[in-house]
């Protein structure tokens, strides 16, 4: 449909004939996110018509949500589960216009700074210490303990901007850099605390990014599980998939909205979370 046709269609949304306006709304929904700029422009042109503006806002949100949902489902079904793309798609729930290249550029900078610090002859422990220096000292990332349940902690663009996040979001950024460096570092789905593991043929240990990259071992996980009164399971010690990381990030986002009593957002994220079921 041509731009002038879409504009004319949008202008009929406030037609006094409800049958006409409802039909128009269905046609606009069929257009998908192509119609969003026209809806936004029409909203700006009608500042003295609050009912129309609310209808436009609801329609824009519905189209953006449909796009967000379809994007994550497509990512699951048709991609190789690129982690950065998955996290970018989650962030687009709150920031629909977020540019992928912007996020990628920020990750690239952390990678470049880390690459300058590494040498092939470093022991894995020393490699992690070098990465920790870049991540926590040079770039200033830290645990957001003050606002732990803020939805921003699950949105990669916000974590990069504020340098504060929850265990999984901090792990994701660290992990993206480490894997680009060719390091055998992976996510681990530990209950109530997402961590990383360095796992090669010669050595395996764990890294708590939420505690400034603290290195620990399997016995420490055993102790943690005992304190949590949980039975040891393989998934608590071994690498998890990028799909599992994205699902857990969605779960954290859903919980944050629940803590903020944002019921509609809880239901919207829950729907996508279930569609990405393993």
pLDDT tens for each residue of 43-91: 898 888 898 899 999 999 999 999 999 999 999 998 789 999 999 999 9
Domain boundaries, the chain: 3-78, 83-275
Identify which of 150, 149, 132, 130 has the alpha carbon closest to the alpha carbon of residue 141: 132
DSSP 150: -
Which segments of the chain have a pLDDT < 50? none
Decide if 189 contacts 235 (C-beta within 8 A). Answer: yes
- Helix, strand, coil percentages, rounded to 5, for the chain: 65, 10, 30
Place of tokens 């990259």: 213
pLDDT at residue number 17: 77
Contacts 24+ apart (CB under 8 A), 77-84: 81/241, 81/242, 81/243, 81/246, 82/242, 83/172, 83/175, 83/176, 83/242, 83/245, 83/246, 84/156, 84/176
- 245 and 168 Cβ atoms separated by less than 8 Å: yes
d(CA 137, CA 134): 6
Please tell me the pTM assigned to this model: 0.91
pLDDT of residue 278: 61
Residue position matching structure tokens 């290249």: 101
């Amino acid at each position: 449909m041509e731009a002038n046709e879409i504009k004319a269609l949008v202008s009929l949304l406030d037609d006094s004939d409800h049958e006409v306006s409802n039909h128009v709304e269905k046609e606009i929904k069929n257009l998908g996110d192509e119609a969003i700029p026209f809806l936004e422009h029409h909203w700006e042109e009608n500042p003295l018509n609050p009912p129309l503006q609310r209808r436009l806002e609801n329609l824009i949100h519905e189209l953006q949500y449909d796009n967000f949902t379809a994007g994550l489902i497509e990512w699951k079904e048709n991609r190789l589960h690129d982690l950065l793309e998955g996290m970018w798609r989650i962030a687009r729930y709150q920031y629909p216009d977020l540019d992928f290249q912007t996020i990628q550029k920020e990750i690239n900078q952390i990678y470049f700074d880390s690459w300058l610090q590494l040498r092939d002859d470093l022991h894995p422990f020393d490699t992690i210490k070098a990465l920790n220096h870049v991540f926590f000292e040079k770039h200033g990332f830290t645990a957001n303990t003050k606002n732990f349940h803020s939805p921003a902690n699950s949105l990669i663009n916000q974590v990069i901007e504020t340098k504060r996040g929850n265990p999984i979001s901090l792990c994701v950024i660290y992990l993206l850099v480490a894997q680009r460096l060719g390091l055998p570092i992976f996510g681990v789905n530990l209950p109530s605390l997402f961590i990383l593991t360095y796992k090669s043929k010669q050595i395996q240990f764990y890294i708590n990014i939420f505690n400034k990259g603290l290195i620990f071992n399997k016995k420490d996980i055993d102790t943690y599980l005992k304190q949590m009164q949980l039975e040891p399971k393989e998934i608590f010690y071994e690498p998890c998939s990028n799909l599992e990381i994205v699902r857990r990030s969605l779960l954290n986002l859903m919980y944050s909205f629940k803590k903020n009593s944002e019921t509609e957002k809880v239901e919207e994220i829950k729907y996508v979370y279930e569609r990405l079921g393993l």
